[in-house]
């Protein structure tokens, strides 16, 4: 079997990601995002069908081939705080070259604090916010009502695309909640980026940021218990 899944070393089964989770065994529970995402990707040993169906509607991503995927991929954002830890970072072979998918898996977990809640006026946070906002094309003064996790995960996807020399990328929420918990927060973020998504199951048009064509998407998936 070709080794396609990694997290610092090759992974053979879903449970192999446990040591790389921020909270280890405590985070590894059925019906929680880490468990569901791992089983989804390992079960397909490729792009999960739910992800593929959404990106196939894009002429650039149609027919994408998975090269490899990294679980719990840490991306250094700057020198002002911790790295962003993407649930799955997938490197794809496209007809036009390389592509990158940054996957944030969710069941009903939140996207963490609003930027207004995360922001405390400290120089380090202000410098980080300024850098992230510039990276994704936001004015740092008007992002207060957006979720910080969405901002840094999108920035991480762009950084990794740049690192790999990929011209096309997508930051995707892979949701395992039939009620699409927190979709409204994602919709607000997509609107702020001028990539408005009005419902799950869609890939946005591309927006060029720093030479990379970025898309956003909300993928509706099914948990393993269904």
Identify whether the C-beta of residue 18 lies closer than 8 Å to the C-beta of residue 38: no
Cα distance between residue 37 and residue 25, in whole Å: 15
pLDDT higher than threshold 80 for residue 2: no
pLDDT given at position 225: 60
What confidence tier does 1 reach under pLDDT thresholds 50, 70, 90? very low
- How do residues 127-186 score in pLDDT, each as one tens digit? 999 999 999 999 888 899 999 999 999 999 999 999 999 999 999 999 999 999 999 999
Task: Work out the angle between the directed axes of helices 148-164 and 123-136 (0-180°, nearest 10).
Answer: 60
Mean pLDDT on 109-125: 96
Contact 186, 197 (CB under 8 A): yes
Contact 134, 98 (CB under 8 A): no
């Amino acid at each position: 079997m070709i080794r396609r899944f990694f997290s610092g070393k090759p992974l053979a089964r879903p449970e192999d990601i446990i040591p790389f989770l921020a909270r280890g065994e405590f985070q590894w529970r059925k019906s929680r995002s880490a468990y569901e995402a791992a089983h989804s990707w390992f079960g397909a040993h490729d792009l999960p069908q739910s992800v593929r169906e959404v990106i196939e509607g894009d002429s650039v991503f149609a027919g994408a081939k998975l090269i490899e995927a990294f679980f719990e991929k840490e991306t250094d954002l700057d020198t002002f705080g911790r790295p962003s830890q993407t649930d799955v970072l997938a490197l794809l072979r496209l007809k036009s070259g390389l592509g990158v998918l940054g996957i944030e898996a969710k069941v009903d977990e939140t996207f963490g604090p609003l930027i207004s809640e995360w922001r405390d006026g400290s120089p380090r946070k202000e410098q980080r916010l300024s850098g992230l906002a510039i990276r994704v094309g936001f004015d740092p003064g008007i992002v207060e009502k957006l979720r910080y996790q969405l901002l840094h995960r999108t920035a991480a996807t762009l950084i990794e695309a740049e690192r790999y020399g990929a011209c096309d990328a997508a930051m995707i929420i892979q949701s395992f909640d039939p009620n699409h918990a927190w979709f409204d927060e994602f919709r607000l973020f997509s609107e702020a980026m001028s990539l408005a998504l009005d419902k799950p199951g869609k890939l946005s048009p591309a927006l060029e940021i720093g030479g990379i064509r970025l898309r956003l998407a909300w993928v509706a998936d099914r948990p393993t218990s269904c």
